[in-house]
Amino acid sequence: MRTDGLVFASRAMMAALQKEQALEQVRNVATLPGIVGPSLAMPDIHWGYGFPIGGVAAFDPDEGVVSPGGVGYDINCGVRLLRSDLEVQQVRPHLQQLADALFRNVPSGVGSHRRDLKLSVAEERRVLQQGARWVVNRGMGSEQDLQHIEAGGCIDGADPELLSDRALERGRDQLGTLGSGNHFLEVQMVEEIREPELAQVLGLFPGQVTVTIHTGSRGLGYQVCDDYLRIMLRAAAKYGIKLPDRQLCCAPLGSPEGRQYLAAMACAANFAFANRQLITAWVRESFEQVLGQNAEALRLSLIYDVCHNIAKWEHHMVEGVRRRLCVHRKGATRAFPPGHAEVPACYRAIGQPVLIPGDMGRYSYVLVGTAGGYEQTFGSTCHGAGRVLSRHAAKKVARGRNIEAELAARGIVLRAAERGTVAEEISEAYKDVSEVVEVVQQAGIGRIVARLRPLAVVKG
């Protein structure tokens, strides 16, 4: 190990982690060349490919590396939160219709695609370079939306020429789709406000209806990762990098392979930003169809959109010196503090909004970034609850149960493309996200603002 491993967790979480491989992955990341500061893990840590999910690591531009395993297969899997002026009593009588409209308008499930939106080769390349702006330029969103997306909805340096034909083919008809697995679209209510003054700045109030969208770069991002893992295995051998685990294959940041991966990753990240922006347009359309009012009247506005799986160039203070670093966040959320220039002006006094979804049967949280988090974790925090059961184990636990009826008994409407996905995503498959965010709060790497409870859930 070239540095320490630092895990943010409660005593009970650490006891459970001793029984799995995620801590070994924290240690393995600490062996990589050019790592700056500790190898970090957030309290939703669990085993992943290469890096643990919940892993964060920063690398020096001259001596450090970039690793696809530190970003993940679903590049820029992320989450965005919309607020409205609606109160829960206005929407509850229409929940079934609203769930139907969302399920109809936003394709979900494995291999899902939109028959009415198949990109041309030229259009796809523009999406990969422009991200969410490509969608806004077509009248599906606003400049205000772009101001409320991490990096403005576009990562610089994207080069579509570095993507394989297979990656481009997989993305061509999947823009505007939810996908499967843990991706979801959720209508929620603001159940509890922890910090009223912060909530007011974010435009949140008790009983308010909100919408969370959680998805990423679909098959295109998966293929980019798969393609570059093979390239990085050869690069690691070429540059004499000793790997404790082949899944940590990497290349020096200044090498041709390293630069190419970052440019290809940026393409996938921009595809994901555009994907969530398109879904937002169809969410607004669905509310209009069911409630008979336009989106402006409903005030369905974007609070924020954050990346979960990304490697980004950022400036951070390290031992009193401002340094440019490549920060890998794998299943982790950027959480910049009050006053940071990259926080939208309307939130700069309170810090960047941080969106932490839980499981489909319990609750999610809204936090803001803190100065303490910026100092301790390169401005990072958790991205969700974190799995405690594998998908196979969750299916065994769910066998013979009617999950839809269980959720209905809690007042939650479910629409899903595949029953298998529902079984994999039962509440028991995840940590209780309230325990995860309490660790974040107590460690000073995030500040809890509000808790949201699901009303209607759309799954792949």
Q: Give the three-state DSSP class for 407.
A: helix
DSSP 8-state class, residue 159: -
Give the up-direction half-sphere exposure of residue 220: CA atoms within 13 A in the CB hemisphere.
34
Spatial CA neighbour of 106 closest among 455, 384, 425, 416: 416
**What string of DSSP letters covers 211-250?**
EEEEE--HHHHHHHHHHHHHHHHHHHHHTT---SSGGG--
DSSP 8-state class, residue 384: S
Residues 6 or more apart in contact with residue 145 via CB below 8 angstroms: 132, 136, 153, 277, 280, 302
Cβ distance 437 to 354 under 8 Å?
A: no
For helices 218-238 and 256-291, give the axis angle rounded to 10 degrees.
Answer: 170
- The single residue listed with the structure tokens 């790592």 is 35
Give yes or no: 383 in active site: yes
158-173 exposure pattern, b = at least 16 Cβ within 10 A, e = fewer: bbbebbeeebbebbbb
CA dist 76 and 79 (Å) reads 9
- The secondary element (H helix, E strand) that includes residue 349 is none
Q: Which two tokens stand for residue 237?
A: 């051998």
Bridge partners, 146 (sequence order): none
Integer angstrom CA distances of residue 111 from 119, 175, 219, 226, 420: 16, 11, 8, 17, 15
Spatial CA neighbour of 276 closest among 155, 179, 210, 181: 179
- The secondary element (H helix, E strand) that includes residue 144 is helix 143-147
DSSP 8-state class, residue 18: T
Which one is catalytic: 315, 316, 383, 392?
Answer: 383
Spatial CA neighbour of 25 closest among 70, 68, 62, 63: 70
Q: Which two tokens stand for residue 317?
A: 């203070």
Cα 221 to chain center, whole Å?
13
Cα 392 to chain center, whole Å?
23
CA dist 193 and 204 (Å) reads 8
Catalytic residues: 383
